[in-house]
């Protein structure tokens, strides 16, 4: 359907103007912020005209079926303007966004949180607020759309991703990574609407930037438009054209922040504080809005509801096309992210095979081997790496690289862009149809922190493959050697951090990451080879309880050694020495996942940790370990940053050796 047709559908009969429609947004935004005595009226008022044209003439969605897979994705990257989104949802008629919700803006338990929170209200496609995340997440959504379209055809997958971004979004570094990736892949269905209001919190943007954003986006491979963001026809023309080009689009919308507030508009004073009763009254007069607070005339609401009617029609047509498609089953299975049961059977066979072979490989290599099984058994996985493919070992045979000319593959060369990779994976997961995984070095989780936190906050199944997980990476030195990163990830709510000790645990942890549908996982993997430590095969996934006794003592325990990943080998060696040379019975507990262990019943936890003195071994910071070792326990790990040297030298230098463990245990039980 072309622009003109959409326009007619939406605006006939034209009793209510788009100006009226936009003013409804303005009024609701200033009223809600005033009532909450908190919030950001400037952006919704400034972008009301752009949003009105976008929704009134173009957007495809059905508020009664907010999960409809072929809906357009709308991302409010400038999330502080949340009242823009809530006002739209109310006006269009999302059932979960009655007027009362607008009146409860920013109150406990309201759907109308301070920033749009995924899962709080229908139609919020992603959580925004930390600037730049929205635009980068939108890149992932547009990529997922393109990949789905390649698989299922434009009859079934044919939607746009629209993102409204502010100056802050474009200043943040993540925006650079994201637009470079989008431009490179030619994601033509991505349309960024920049609220070009020249104001940020400190004052005019000229305080801090002189960037020529149009030139910058052009350099990244975008088509660009520079328009008056209060000219309805100019907005419509630009969006209409942007939909037709074969590159991603930036529409720079020159706007007046807080437009409508006669004394404050155009200044940072409208950005993040209520306008005040007097200015709101003045604004009502200025825009010709004589209605009471939160009141929108029926005719205006009715006109807005045309958006929903159009969407319902579009969805009905789409349902018919899907029903007629031979791919319907596969499509529905993809949207539901259904993994075949055979996958888990094959993983079980994989574990049995390598237990028998006692395969000794680095856990990053084990991960690659497991991925070989997974990627063969399901087409849901989309992998990638931030330019460390052959180090992270994230690419398995037959995946095929994705490029602007070929979307049949399943592997993304994300470039040296950890932050955009993580945000794009959020977007892929949120879009649906795929389970994304992506690799970098564990130390560079730092660069992706902002987006990893959102994976967790949104409960998205994003799988991080983080290799080179300790001083065990050796010569690259302290900048590349994680020390505090396990603590940082474990402290983050809602994310499972796995540090497997051998190939068997690696397969188990991958299985858990696939099965835990509503949370991100981080697989923390070694660069260096590690022996296979498991003694016998059981169907049970022993890692699933977070920690288990890998080596039990013959008699009563004199000590318990707790370790993760590459240090489990050291713990086993120490236990052997303790038994053979000192007659001390020390059990070894492998603890691949703290979060899962925390969820076990206290009795299970006690049975694993036991009463005897405990020593934990992990080539990382101590923080958090006191919880498991108790006041009388001890810890062997890193007390500061690493160093550049061969790995074996470093383990000796930092005293992370079986001998050191033996010494500490002997001191403890003396």
Q: Which residues are catalytic?
A: 418
Could you tell me the smallest distance in angstroms from the CB atom of residue 660 to its own copies? Answer: 17
List binders of its own copies among 264-283 (CB under 8 A): none
- The dihedral sign for the CA sequence 169, 308, 21, 191: positive
Query: Which region among 156-164, 513-521, 577-585, 636-644 touches its own copies (by CB under 8 A)?
Result: 636-644
Could you tell me the smallest distance in angstroms from the CB atom of residue 16 to its own copies? Answer: 32
Backbone φ and ψ of 17, nearest 5°: -85, 160
The count of residues in the chain is 670
Task: Count other C-beta atoms under 10 Å from residue 109's C-beta.
Answer: 7
Binding-site member from 70, 72, 177, 496 for its own copies (CB under 8 A): 177
DSSP class of 207: G
Instruction: Assess contact for 255 and 230: CB atoms under 8 A.
Output: yes
Query: Which region among 103-111, 137-145, 148-156, 324-332 touches its own copies (by CB under 8 A)?
Result: 103-111
Q: Would you count residue 515 as binding its own copies (CB under 8 A)?
A: no
Which one, 222 or 318, has the nearer CB to its own copies?
222
Q: Would you count residue 108 as binding its own copies (CB under 8 A)?
A: yes
Q: Would you count residue 450 as binding its own copies (CB under 8 A)?
A: yes
Which one, 388 or 570, has the nearer CB to its own copies?
388
Q: Is 199 annotated as a binding residue?
A: yes
Residue 13: which residues within 8 A CB-CB, separation 6 or more? none
Task: List alpha helices for 526-637, DSSP H.
Answer: 567-582, 594-598, 602-609, 626-629
Which pair of structure tokens corresponds to residue 484? Answer: 């505090």
Could you tell me the smallest distance in angstroms from the CB atom of residue 101 to its own copies? Answer: 13
Residue position matching structure tokens 């694993």? 608
Q: Give the start-end residues of each E strand in 229-269.
A: 249-254
Burial of 107 (0-12, 13-18, 19+ CB in 10 A): middle
By rule CB under 8 A, what string of x and - marks binding of each residue 120-159 to its own copies?
-------xxxxx----------------------------
Closest C-alpha to 243, from 196, 195, 192: 192
Q: In angstroms, what CA-CA distances link 83 with 86, 279, 456? A: 5, 18, 24
Which one, 296 or 362, has the nearer CB to its own copies?
362
Q: Give the start-end residues of each E strand in 184-239.
A: 190-196, 199-200, 203-204, 223-228
Backbone φ and ψ of 226, nearest 5°: -125, 110
**Angle (nearest 5°) at CA 397 between 389 and 539:** 95
Q: Partners of 498 in the beta sheet?
A: 523
Q: Would you count residue 643 as binding its own copies (CB under 8 A)?
A: yes
Q: Would you count residue 476 as binding its own copies (CB under 8 A)?
A: yes
Binding-site member from 491, 517, 540, 606 for its own copies (CB under 8 A): 491
Binding-site member from 79, 472, 565, 658 for its own copies (CB under 8 A): 79
Q: Would you count residue 645 as binding its own copies (CB under 8 A)?
A: yes
List binders of its own copies among 188-247 (CB under 8 A): 200-202, 207-213, 215-216, 218-221
Q: Is 476 annotated as a binding residue?
A: yes
Residue 88: which residues within 8 A CB-CB, separation 6 or more? 25, 51, 55
Q: Is 653 annotated as a binding residue?
A: no
Residue position matching structure tokens 């890193």? 638
Q: Would you count residue 425 as binding its own copies (CB under 8 A)?
A: no
Binding-site member from 437, 444, 464, 548 for its own copies (CB under 8 A): 444
Binding-site member from 231, 576, 649, 663 for its own copies (CB under 8 A): 649
In the chain, what are the helix, strand and coil shares in percent, each to the nearest 5?
Answer: 50, 15, 40
Q: Would you count residue 396 as binding its own copies (CB under 8 A)?
A: no
Which one, 495 or 572, has the nearer CB to its own copies?
495
Binding-site member from 19, 305, 413, 582 for its own copies (CB under 8 A): 413
Q: Is 402 annotated as a binding residue?
A: no
Q: Would you count residue 492 as binding its own copies (CB under 8 A)?
A: yes
Which one, 226 or 348, has the nearer CB to its own copies?
226
CA distance 18 to 54: 11
CA distance 285 to 276: 14
Total interface residues for its own copies by CB under 8 A: 109
Q: Would you count residue 100 as binding its own copies (CB under 8 A)?
A: no
Residue position matching structure tokens 């319907």? 328
Could you tell me the smallest distance in angstroms from the CB atom of residue 383 to its own copies? Answer: 13
Half-sphere exposure of 124 (CA within 13 A, CB side): 27
Query: Which region among 259-267, 470-478, 505-513, 568-576 touches its own copies (by CB under 8 A)?
Result: 470-478
Binding-site member from 479, 515, 535, 538 for its own copies (CB under 8 A): 479
**Which residues are known binding-site members?**
40, 80, 129-131, 167-168, 197, 199, 271, 364, 391, 444, 468, 476, 480, 527
**Which residues are known binding-site members for Mg(2+)?**
167, 197, 199
């Amino acid at each position: 359907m072309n622009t003109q047709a959409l326009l007619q559908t939406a605006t006939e009969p034209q009793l209510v103007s788009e100006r009226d429609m936009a003013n409804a947004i303005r009024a609701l935004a200033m009223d809600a912020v005033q009532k909450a005595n908190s919030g950001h009226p400037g952006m919704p008022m400034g972008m009301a005209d752009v949003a009105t044209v976008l929704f009134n003439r173009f957007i495809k969605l059905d508020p009664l079926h907010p999960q409809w897979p072929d809906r357009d994705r709308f991302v409010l990257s400038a999330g502080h303007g949340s009242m823009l989104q809530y006002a739209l949802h109310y006006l269009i008629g999302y059932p979960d966004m009655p007027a009362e919700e607008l009146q409860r803006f920013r109150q406990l338990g309201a759907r109308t949180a301070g920033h749009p929170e995924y899962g709080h209200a229908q139609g919020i496609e992603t959580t925004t607020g930390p600037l730049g995340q929205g635009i980068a997440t939108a890149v992932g959504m547009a990529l997922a759309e393109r990949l789905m379209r390649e698989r299922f055809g434009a009859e079934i997958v044919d939607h746009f991703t629209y993102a409204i971004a502010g100056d802050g979004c474009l200043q943040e570094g993540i925006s650079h990574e994201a637009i470079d990736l989008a431009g490179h892949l030619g994601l033509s269905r991505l349309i960024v609407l920049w609220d070009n209001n020249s104001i940020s919190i400190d004052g005019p943007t000229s305080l801090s930037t002189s960037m020529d954003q149009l030139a910058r986006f052009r350099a990244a491979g975008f088509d660009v438009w520079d328009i008056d963001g209060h000219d309805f026809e100019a907005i419509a023309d630009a969006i209409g054209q942007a939909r037709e080009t074969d590159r991603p689009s930036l529409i720079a919308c020159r706007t007046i922040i807080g437009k409508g507030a006669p004394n404050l508009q155009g200044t940072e004073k409208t950005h993040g504080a209520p306008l005040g009763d007097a200015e709101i009254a003045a604004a009502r007069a200025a825009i010709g809005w004589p209605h009471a607070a939160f009141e929108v005339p029926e005719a205006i609401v009715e006109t807005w509801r045309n958006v929903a009617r159009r969407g319902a029609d579009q969805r009905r047509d789409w349902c018919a096309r899907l029903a007629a498609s031979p791919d319907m089953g596969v499509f529905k299975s993809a949207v539901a992210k259904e993994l075949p049961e055979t996958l888990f059977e094959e993983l079980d066979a994989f574990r049995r095979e390598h237990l028998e072979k006692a395969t000794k490989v680095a856990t990053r290599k084990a991960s690659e081997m497991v991925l070989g099984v997974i990627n063969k058994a399901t087409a849901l996985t989309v992998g990638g790496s931030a330019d460390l493919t052959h180090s992270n070992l994230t690419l398995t045979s037959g995946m095929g690289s994705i490029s602007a000319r070929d979307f049949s593959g399943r592997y993304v060369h994300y470039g040296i862009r950890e932050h955009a990779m993580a945000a794009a994976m959020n977007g892929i997961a949120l879009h649906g149809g795929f389970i994304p995984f992506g690799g970098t070095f564990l130390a560079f989780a730092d660069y992706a922190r902002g987006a990893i936190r959102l994976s967790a906050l949104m409960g998205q199944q994003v799988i991080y493959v983080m290799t080179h997980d300790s001083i065990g990476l050796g010569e690259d030195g302290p900048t590349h050697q994680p020390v505090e990163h396990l603590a940082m990830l474990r402290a983050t709510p809602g994310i499972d951090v796995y540090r497997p000790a051998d190939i068997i645990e690696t397969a188990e942890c991958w299985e858990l990451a696939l099965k835990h549908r509503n949370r991100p996982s981080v697989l923390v993997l070694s660069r260096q080879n590690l022996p296979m430590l498991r003694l016998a095969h059981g169907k049970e996934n022993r890692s699933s309880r977070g920690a288990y006794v890998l080596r039990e003592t013959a008699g009563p325990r004199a000590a318990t050694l707790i370790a993760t990943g590459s240090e489990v080998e050291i713990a086993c060696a120490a236990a052997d020495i303790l038994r053979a040379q000192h007659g001390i019975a020390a059990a070894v507990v492998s603890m691949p996942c703290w979060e899962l262990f925390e969820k076990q019943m206290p009795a299970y936890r006690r049975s694993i940790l036991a009463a005897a003195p405990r020593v934990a071994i992990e080539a990382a910071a101590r923080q958090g370990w006191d919880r498991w070792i108790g006041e009388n326990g001890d810890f062997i790990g890193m007390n500061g940053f690493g160093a550049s040297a061969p790995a074996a030298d470093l383990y000796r230098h930092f005293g992370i050796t079986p001998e050191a463990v033996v010494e500490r245990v002997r001191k403890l039980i003396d």
